[in-house]
Amino acid sequence: MGSKAESALKPWCPFCGMDVGKPTEGIQRKMREFPMGICECGAVYVSDTTGHNIGAAMVECLVIACNNQWDLAWELIPEDDYLTGTLENYDEVTHQVVPKRNLDGRAVRGVLYFVRLHKEMAELVKRFEHKLSAEQPVLVNDESGHSEPAVAVEPDRDPKRTKKRADKQVVKQLAKSRDISALVDLYLDDRKVLPFLQRLLYEPDPGARYSIAWVIGQVCGRVAIREPGPVADLLHRLFEACSDSAASSWGMVETIGAIIAARPDIYGAFTRHLFNFMGDPATREAVLWGLGEIAATRPDLIRKTPFYSLFPVLNHSDPVLRGLTLRLLGRIQAKEAAFQILGLQHDIAPLTLYEQGVPLATTVAELSAQATRTLYKEEGNGK
């Protein structure tokens, strides 16, 4: 290996200094459009020809380093579990670093993003490699026997089609009519669909916000199988906005829950972070709704959190909070709260919940009865 002065135009690994090969498309492309490579030291790198997709590229690089173990990737902490590095002014065509950022009159703005797991984490990934390769995403069973059906891969679009450009009004109309397929098609042509949808959350009507949150979750659930990076970026932005005391979080917590519920196999590790917003009265209802949406398909993700901290909410003065908690605890079969749930069977307080973004008029007593039936559903089936 030559020195950097002698081989300034050859891309090198920022961790070991070795020259790295030209990134290529993986044999099994499970993610986005970034070509990738692996250094001799074990670092994984991906190439972004524009240099503007840092979030998506880093997510893809980290998940590849974790052998496509999404839950593990979201759990890792920068510096503590892995290191990151970048190599700027990279030209993917010639596989060179061009310090002048111009090659034969052509602008060079590419970036190589690197991730290298610490030794302990790398060994953990290897130990689970064989186990995960045997787990096909046909059904995901949780500890209560619940099965989550696999999500179909979004089919390829005709490359010769005339691509459309996203328009705010068009996106708004499609979202209002809940035309998920049309929104997905439009997104695959123009990535501005997600930002346009996010803006629709600033709606004073709670029913409209729940509907938009559900629509965003469905759209993200379908596009995430091909492009998980932009959806992960959206989740991070939503979490940051919810944590900003100076910003309005209308609809954002609900949207986080809807996205996780649509693709818990990819974003399930974000579930526990929703509990951070239970202490704020302004977001408490949204948290309970989002957790309930997740519990409908992956109750095991809720049971891995400190869900027992929600038991006191069954005594809250707000019937909506009591109802949402009943719905959630019933879906995860929380027999630990059976007596509290039974204690609400005569609570006739009316409330409105939103199922898939659609309002549903009910009472606390009805939700108590429904939760009770769900608690002992397996025992009843076994008789």
Condensed to tens digits (0 to 9), the pLDDT of residues 162-183 reads 888 999 999 999 999 999 999 9
- According to the model, what pLDDT value does residue 7 have? 40
- According to the model, what pLDDT value does residue 137 have? 44
**Closest listed residue to residue 227, CA positions, set 94, 358, 380, 34:** 34
Asked if 273 and 257 count as a contact pair (C-beta separation under 8 A), the reply is no
131: pLDDT strictly greater than 60: no
- According to the model, what pLDDT value does residue 144 have? 39
Of the pLDDT bands very low, low, confident and very high (cuts 50, 70, 90), residue 215 is: very high
Of the pLDDT bands very low, low, confident and very high (cuts 50, 70, 90), residue 278 is: very high
141: pLDDT strictly greater than 70: no
Averaged pLDDT, 375-382: 63
- According to the model, what pLDDT value does residue 192 have? 93
- According to the model, what pLDDT value does residue 250 have? 82
Averaged pLDDT, 261-277: 87
Q: How far apart are CA 3 and CA 12, in angstroms?
A: 10
From 70-79, 207-216, 313-322, the region with the lowest mean pLDDT? 70-79
Could you tell me which residue, 308 or 158, shows the higher pLDDT? 308
Of the pLDDT bands very low, low, confident and very high (cuts 50, 70, 90), residue 379 is: low
Percent of the chain with pLDDT over 70: 85
Spell 247-273 as b/e; 16+ CB within 10 A means b: eebbbbbbbbbbbbbbbbbbbbbbbeb
- According to the model, what pLDDT value does residue 171 have? 96
DSSP codes joined into one string, 39-68: -TTS-EEEEESSS--HHHHHHHHHHHHTTT
- According to the model, what pLDDT value does residue 183 have? 96
99: pLDDT strictly greater than 90: no
- According to the model, what pLDDT value does residue 12 have? 83
- According to the model, what pLDDT value does residue 151 have? 55
Averaged pLDDT, 321-346: 95
**Closest listed residue to residue 154, CA positions, set 175, 173, 180:** 180
Q: How high is the mean pLDDT of the chain?
A: 84
Residues 6+ apart with CB under 8 A from 46: 23, 34, 35, 36, 37, 57, 60, 61, 64, 112, 113
Could you tell me which residue, 242 or 331, shows the higher pLDDT? 331
Q: How far apart are CA 89 and CA 126, in angstroms?
A: 33
